[in-house]
Amino acid sequence: MLQGKLEIQQLSLQDVELNPQVVDSIKQMFAGLKPRDGAAAMPFRLHSAGIRNLTWRTEQKTYGPFRLDARWDSGLKPAAIILRDTRKAVQLHASPAGKQWRLTLHSDKGMFPFELPVTLDQFTLTGLYDKQQIDFEQISLKGYDSRVQASGRLQWSDGWQLSLDTRTDSLALAPLLTALGRPSLPGRIAGECAIRLQGPAAESMHEQRTFDCRLDYLNQGQEAALTFESETESGRDRFTATAANLTLPVGPALHFRNSAFKGSLAGSQLQIHSGYIQAYAGELSVSGELDWSHGWQTRFNSRMEDVQLEPLLQVFEQRIISGGLTGQCQGTVQAQAISTLLEGMEMGCDFTISQGVVYETDLERAAQLIKLKDAPPAREQQTPFDRLSGRLTARQQHYRLDELEITSSALAASGDIAINPARELKGEISVGLEKTGKVLSVPLVVAGTTDAPTFRPTKSSMAGAGAGTLILGPGIGTAVGAKIGEAVDNLTSIFKRKNKPE
């Protein structure tokens, strides 16, 4: 009927919906055609075609409407394809490059054609598409006062594999985390991350994943070096994380000189197999686990080696005690929210503090108060010590210091103290003074608060003070550990023996 070829300058379609099944059918229909055969079989020549109101539908969502424009020079393969949304905020350009297709995808003004948990100011992707892979030559993301670039490859010849090498010179944490609905953190991140995902299907690529990151964290003029490596193994992400020169960005401004942790993560369960923190001239080693599937539950073991308490407590704006802390702790925590973790903590610690000072407390003076009640107090109340040891237990914000022992060149003391949630003190300590040859030990009632403790002789020791302060002296009495009342009783028995007729 027609002689020669029909030449179509423009073909327009409208209201076309594509889905994965339709695309697969089109691929199969043209799979056996070679470019030359296809051109010879076509009884017409098409210069350009356009589709208006094109939509892409998946099981989860429908994208669009888009406008598609294609141009042909010869044969079946278009010389150029342009896909854009109706606002021209998303544009995809595709053109032949040998056996591949060169792709350029650009999105701005908050629009993006795929599912993303954030809205970007600008997204650009350039790459080469082949039958079974896409090479990403450059990916650029801008938004939330941040810039990220990446390159890599997506393959689907034998399962699905994604390899990305990402880098950023400025990633602002606060606006990004807020957009993701996560707790905000101050500061910026710069550095590189290598990401590898693998799975039998596109939606399951996250099942096998590896990360290797080298980052710098900048906050308030301080720069910390961070590393993170992880690999999926038996359904768990096994990781190693390190930090150098890090000051915690939230909560107390604790500074860690060096730290490293090895552990694993599966769902809502985190295990720390081993870890250490070098800080405040000492080291803390820790292991344990955290589960947040139903509230927050944790179990931990830790050991401290010569951690200097005075600079550590300064972070909390407290000046209670100084010295090098060495000890070992075990504990559990159960709470419904992070903010109430301390309320559900149960912990036990055996500790020793060496070469320190207890501030706001003068045990030597308190033990002599019976004699020195009229003397003016010292300018600063403090108790230097060579060694302070004991056991600390904590349960629902109630604390106990048991088997407490303090030794120095001036005194030796022992006792027990309880601290309630209001930080009020209650207990008793017996103090023996070196200047008296430790012939007696004065029992002191502990009261007040952790900020303003008080130490006063017990009523029984005050009752014996009249006799004791007059007649007790060096060489008379008992060994350290005897109370004044006991010393008086012992002294009375001595006089009775002396007065007994021979």
Residues 41-100 have pLDDT tens digits of 555 566 888 888 888 777 777 777 888 888 888 777 788 999 888 777 788 999 999 889
- Which sequence spans correspond to the domains of the chain? 131-250, 360-502
pLDDT for residue 467: 42
Give the tokens for residue 365.
Answer: 């003076």
Positions of the chain with pLDDT lower than 50, given as ranges:
1-9, 29-31, 33, 37-39, 372, 466-500, 502
pLDDT for residue 407: 94
Name the burial class of residue 390, with classes exposed (0-12), middle (13-18) and buried (19+) by CB atoms within 10 angstroms of its CB.
buried
pLDDT for residue 439: 52
pLDDT tens-digit readout, 84-111:
887 777 889 999 998 899 999 998 866 5
Cβ-Cβ contacts under 8 Å for 299 (sequence gap 6 or more) = 288, 289, 331, 332, 333
Check residue 378 and report its DSSP letter. P
- For Cα atoms 182, 187, 189, give the angle at the middle one, nearest 5 degrees: 90
pLDDT for residue 147: 95
CB atoms within 10 A of CB 373: 9
Q: Distance between CA atoms of 390 and 406, rounded to whole angstroms?
A: 9
Q: Distance between CA atoms of 91 and 80, rounded to whole angstroms?
A: 13
pLDDT for residue 16: 56
Name the burial class of residue 322, with classes exposed (0-12), middle (13-18) and buried (19+) by CB atoms within 10 angstroms of its CB.
buried
pLDDT for residue 103: 94
Helix (H, G, I), strand (E, B) or coil at 126: strand
For the chain, how many residues are written? Answer: 502
Q: Distance between CA atoms of 61 and 56, rounded to whole angstroms?
A: 8
Q: Distance between CA atoms of 165 and 147, rounded to whole angstroms?
A: 14
> Nearest 10 degrees: CA dihedral of 472, 478, 484, 488?
-60
